[in-house]
Structure 1
Amino acid sequence: MTDSEKMREKEAEKMEVDSNLLDSLEKPEKIHQVIQEAILLAGGATAILLQVAEPGVGKGVDEHSNFGYRPLDRLRTTMTYVYCVTFGTRDERKAVIEMVHRAHASVKGPDYSADDPQLQLWVAATLYAVGIEIYQEIFGRLDDETAQAIYREYSILALSLRVTPEMWPEDQHAFWEYWDKQIKTMEITENAKNIAHDLLWNKKAPLTIRFALPFVRLTTAQMLPPRVREAYGLKTGKIRRGTYRFTMGLTKAAYPALPRAIRTYPMKYYMKDMRRRLDERKS
């Protein structure tokens, strides 16, 4: 076997999903009540800006994606992954995780790699932190037992990205210690600022999205930790904070009353889209 063939074989092995991992992802229960809610998409821009605030993630996204031309692609990829890992069948989880591994394989440079477990731990952490904050803002605080169960199950988003079980903080207290340390020490690079500009001031996005961007900038600025918001150059103030609180108040009153079919529509949409793409790969 030639060296190139051995290298390809090693790469193929890295793409394979361990059956033990698939076993550990089986039958999540509590996380479904959070992940299924469409309101979590309101934190999409916040999660992305937090992810790319990690310099390695920022470099990978800025240097290896067409984010400026297709700003919704990362949202589609992320939500497909999140919904499939939590709601998909065993075979669907395996297929999507392998797709993510293949996509990450070429995203690397002298000082970063998309397969770095520390970077993937941070990505998964942002999904939990932003998602649980929005959920509790709308539906009220969870009791301690439910909150801890949901936190434990959120680890599946990290474990399927090459993060080992011991890397995921053991409980919520440990998680928020990790979170605070990350927020206090990370530096917002030019890569991250480029992505923020493409995301929040994108002139190539469809008109309907561009129309919504001022509101997205407003809500994202209020959701970000102050240090991160300031580093990105996003503005806040008494009027902006008041507008955000008023908007969240209206949402808290109206959203839970919506029919479940509406609240879960994005989950069903992305799952259907994922299954269509998997069928196309088979044919």
Structure 2
Amino acid sequence: MTAEALDPSVAERHSRRDELDGQTVDDLGMLGLALLGGPANVIMQLAVPAVGYGVYESKVESGNLFKVPAKRTRTTLSYLAVAAMGSAEDRRRYRQAVNRAHVQVRSGDDSPVKYNAFDPKLQLWVAACLYRGWEDTQRFFGDPSAITEEAYRQGAVMGTTLQMPPEMWPATRADFEVYWNETVDDLEIDDTIRDYLMKIVRMDFLPRPVSLTMGWWSEAMTLGFLPPEFRDKMGVTMTRRQEFLFNTHNAIARRVLRVLPRQLRVFPFNLLLADVRWRMRTGRPLV
């Protein structure tokens, strides 16, 4: 007898995951300018200590941003492409690949906090940050009216593409806001994770000439996208120069986006999805 026959809730959970896997959400602008808001979203995700230390202490060297920045960036952005634009089969196979890497991500005896990459509560938080990042891009660059209950429900794929059970996703956008505010209120970012995050913000994982040239721009964009409550927890503020740069950039970007064809608006995620599918066909590693 199958597990589904013994427990109808298991069958219902699989059915709900299959329903989400069968959707694509790229038409909602789920990707857009996600690259610009990426570092801010990383701060939000890693602000939960169990997520922060899970990344900081990870023994998966092939996914270490400071050791293999190009590969780590590719796999992270590929995950977003698969979650938002991929088919049910794309998501299933990428989930399996990520799971194999996540097996190694668990706290040790000396870890300051306990964590496990398969913890669905942590996956819920990461998915919530990714969804919130989409909302922010709509407010900055798109159409705020796109933030609907339907769009919110589809945002669950950011977690169900991993192992987050669909029923963990707050039922309504209002429920999500309660969950978000309660989680953020309890967050504390210690010096270890703060220093690690600021190195990412300033692009210290790239060759020094690049970080010196572009780090100031990355910091201005990151602080601009970062919600004020997270800036407070990081102990950082925006300078007037950074605010001017951020606002000017956004004003120009909004004008450009109005005339760009869709294929360019979702670049490079359309290219990354094609790469993932090529890797699947040729038997190459996905992550």
**TM-score category of the 2 structures, normalised to the smaller one:** 0.7 to 0.9
One-letter code of the match for 1:46?
A: A
CA contact (8 A) 1:51 1:57 kept: yes
Q: Is the 8 A contact 1:71 1:199 kept in 2?
A: no
Comparing 196-205 with 243-252, greater Cα deviation is found at 196-205
* CA-to-aligned-CA distance 1:154-178 (integer Å, 9 cap, x gap): 1111123222223211111111121
Q: Residue 25 of structure 1 is aligned with which of 20, 23, 29?
A: 20
Q: Is the 8 A contact 1:221 1:236 kept in 2?
A: yes
Count of aligned pairs between the two proteins: 263
Q: Which one-letter code corresponds to 1:223 in the other structure?
A: F
Q: CA deviation at 1:91?
A: 2.3
Tell me which residue corresponds to 2:5: none
Structure-to-structure mapping, 1:56-95, within 5 angstroms: 56-64=50-58, 65=61, 66-95=64-93
1:47 maps to 2:45:
no
- Tell me which of the two structures has the higher relative contact order, counting C-alpha pairs closer than 8 angstroms and 6 or more residues apart: 1
Secondary structure in 2 aligned to 1:119? helix
1:216 match: 218
Unpaired stretches in structure 2, ≥5 consecutive residues = 1-12, 109-113
Contact 2:65 2:73 in 1 (8 A): no
Q: Report deviation, 1:29.
A: 5.1
C-alpha contact (below 8 Å) 1:22/1:90 kept by paired residues: no
2:236 is equivalent to residue 234 of structure 1: yes
> Which residue type is aligned with residue 196 of structure 2?
I
Secondary structure of the 2:29 match is: helix
Matched position secondary structure for 1:128: helix
Instruction: Mark the CA change 1:118 to 1:107 in structure 2 (over 3 Å): closer, same or farther.
Output: same
State the superposition RMSD in angstroms.
Answer: 2.4
Pair 1:281–1:71, CA change in 2 (3 A): same
The alpha carbon displacement at 1:62 in A equals 0.6
Given that 1:59 and 1:191 are in contact with CA atoms closer than 8 Å, whether structure 2 keeps it comes out as no
Report the counterpart of residue 102 of structure 1 in structure 2: 100
Structure 1 residues 280 and 85: alpha-carbon distance in aligned structure 2, compared to 1, 3 A threshold: same
Alignment partners' CA distance in 2, 1:255 and 1:227: 28
Identical amino acids, percent of aligned pairs: 26
Report whether the alignment pairs 1:250 with 2:248: no
Higher helix share: 1
Structure 1: stretches of 5+ with no match in the other structure: 1-17
Deviation at 1:210, TM superposition (A): 5.0
Residue aligning to 1:120: 123
Q: One-letter code of the match for 1:88? A: G
- Report if the CA contact (8 A) 1:35-1:83 is conserved: no
Q: Give the Cα separation in 2 of the matches to 1:200 and 1:188.
A: 15
After superposition, the C-alpha distances for 1:191-225 in whole angstroms (9 at most, x for unaligned) are 42243133123445144565322111012112222
Q: Is the 8 A contact 2:127 2:158 kept in 1?
A: yes
Per-residue CA deviation, residues 41-99 of structure 1 (Å, 9 max, x unaligned), is 21110111111111011111111152223345443222211211332233222110101
Equivalent AA in structure 2 for residue 54 of structure 1:
V
Is contact 1:117–1:163 with CA below 8 Å preserved after alignment?
yes
8 Å CA contact 1:26–1:90 kept in 2: the answer is yes
Cα-to-partner distance string for 1:114-164 (whole Å, 9 max, x where unaligned):
111111101000100011211232122115xx6111110011111232222
Match of 2:111 in 1: none
The 1-side partners of 2:188 and 2:203 are apart by 23
Task: Specify the code of the residue in structure 2 equivalent to 1:48.
Answer: V
